[in-house]
Amino acid sequence: MEPLEDLVAANRILAAHGVIDAYGHVSLRSPRGYYLAQAIAPERVQLDDLIEYDLDSNPIDARGRESVRERFIHGEIYKARPEVMAVVHNHSPSVVPFSVTGVPMRALFHMAAFVGDGLPNFEIRDVQKGTDLLVKTPALGKALALTLSSKPAALMRGHGAVVVGESLPRAVGRSVYLEQSARMQMQALLLSKKITYLDAAEVKASMPIQDYNRAWPLWREKALAQARAERK
């Protein structure tokens, strides 16, 4: 059950870092599709809340549990990106301003060097007008996956972001540090117009070390201890 415990931990870690609120979600690829928690607040997720979906985002064994409406984000990205093993969708508060101003996020902090890869911004209006901004159909999920292309993350205008990884720790770590990087960039912009960003060579050199291997076991242990305490 270890990968599923990892997913329980991932929900709680993202909530603890303020990256997902009561509505964000994180999924893990499974042999038949992916696992995603039922529609409850992520910081309350336990193993029993995890539902397996096929890649068309149909629940395989819902047993009366309610699915999140934006699950198509996950299914469509897994279809488009065979190397992706985990997907986070969040409403990362410091990221949203970049999605509505045209000010690009840039790499200025080594823990979030992947920002330097260039993060696209999903404009839902280009696909469908007058929506509530939620990606709740397969067509919208597919369009988002197309915008994400081969990148590690994409902003979603007026809504949040989607972050992917070749592993769960990488997707979670990127989400935590994407939020921090956005906050730091806003702070730096308040201090000065002249900011020294990472250059292309530094971005490239920083990529291989970003598996957040020191943070993940610590985060996981704390999250699962909390989950166990709640079960008692």
Q: What is the secondary structure of 110-172 as a DSSP string? A: GGGGGGGG---EE-GGGT-TT--S---SHHHHHHHHHHHTTSSEEEETTTEEEEEESSHHHHH
Could you tell me what percentage of the chain is helix, strand and coil, using 3-state DSSP and rounding each to the nearest 5? Answer: 50, 15, 40
Q: Which amino acid is at 97?
A: P
Phi, psi of 69 (to 5 degrees): -70, -30
Q: HSE, CB side, 13 Å, CA atoms: give it for residue 24.
A: 30
52 is catalytic: no
- The residue from 70, 166, 221, 230 that is catalytic is 70
Strand-pair category, 33-37 with 50-54: antiparallel
Query: What is the spatial distance between Cα 175 and Cα 14, in angstroms, rounded to a whole number?
Result: 8
In terms of DSSP bridges, do strands 160-165 and 153-156 run parallel, antiparallel, or are they unpaired? antiparallel
Structure tokens at 141: 């999920």
* Phi-psi label, residue 129: left if phi above 0, alpha if psi -120 to 50, beta otherwise: beta
- The beta strand positions in the chain, using DSSP E, are 25-29, 33-37, 50-54, 86-90, 121-122, 153-156, 160-165
Which residues form the catalytic set? 70
